Chains A and B, each alone.
Chain A
Amino acid sequence: AQSVTQLGSHVSVSEGALVLLRCNYSSSVPPYLFWYVQYPNQGLQLLLKYTSAATLVKGINGFEAEFKKSETSFHLTKPSAHMSDAAEYFCAVSEGNAGNMLTFGGGTRLMVKP
């Protein structure tokens, strides 16, 4: 069975500050890990994904995440927050390959203060 825990349902940062959204996973097999962003009343947009290649994954909009097997973590970071980054972020895991069902974390709402 697989599961995802996102620590912090709400994170608030100032514009220009570091963004750190935490994600820990549990998986019985080597996982595929994803970060998605959701704007109000919209679907999910893929930010980045880990598929057993490089442990440091770079995504769109300046985001990156590092897979740490020893910590079972896949935290999302961005060096400098922008107002347009305010949204809901979901970490997800699938087992076997990226086309299998996804198990999502509870989501983290990122707020960016001017």
Chain B
Amino acid sequence: GAVVSQHPSRVICKSGTSVKIECRSLDFQATTMFWYRQFPKKSLMLMATSNEGSKATYEQGVEKDKFLINHASLTLSTLTVTSAHPEDSSFYICSAVDRTSFAYEQYFGPGTRLTVT
């Protein structure tokens, strides 16, 4: 099956710094990628929809200036957490949509655990 990677898998940063998380579709082109956030022992909440070549669409309550999303190519979307604070600590998961298949399959990355100290 198709593979989606995320880098880094874990990152620890100091409060006030910025962190970039990469989401790559390794063997297919993804015009659409989604970014989800998962709090400890909680479900996944959609943060934003990332479309290649256009601005991301953010869900209500998600600060677009804090969570910068760039989808510059058909295989890469990045999420940058700017001026990180401890409350941004979370598990961030991306998914990528393969629209070449009739069924429009959606594949998930392994997640990135962000800890802000």
Chain A residues near B (Cβ < 8 Å): 36, 41-46, 51, 90, 94, 97-107
8 A-B residue pairs with CB within 8 Å: A43-B110, A44-B93, A44-B108, A51-B103, A90-B44, A99-B106, A103-B46, A107-B43
Question: Which listed residue (A43, A51, A101, A107) contacts B34, Cβ 8 A?
Answer: A101
- Known interface pairs A43-B93, A44-B93, A51-B103; A101-B109 also in contact (CB < 8 Å): no
Looking at the assembled complex, report how far the CB atom of A113 sits from the nearest CB atom of chain B, in whole angstroms.
20
Complex Cα distance, B6 from A90, in Å, reads 21
Give the residues in chain B near A98, CB-CB below 8 Å: 103-106
Per-position 1/0 for B31-47, Cβ under 8 A of A: 01010000000111110
User: Looking at the complex, which one of B42, B95, B104, B108 makes contact with A97 (CB distance below 8 Å)?
Assistant: B104
Size of the chain B interface, CB-CB below 8 angstroms: 24
Interface string of B88-104 (1 = CB under 8 A from A): 00010101011100011
The majority secondary structure among interface residues of chain A is: loop
Contacts of B91 in A (CB 8 A): 41
Neighbouring A residues of B42 by C-beta, 8 Å: 106-107
Partner of B110, one of A42, A46, A102: A42
A41 touches B103 (CB 8 A): no
A101 touches B110 (CB 8 A): no
Q: Which residue of A is nearest B44, CB measured?
A: A104
CA A105 to CA B105, docked complex, whole Å? 20
- Taking a contact as CB atoms under 8 Å apart, the answer to whether B97 and A43 are in contact is no
CA distance in complex: A107, B91 (Å): 15
| B64: interface (CB < 8 Å) | no
Do B46 and A101 touch across chains, with their CB atoms under 8 A apart? Answer: yes
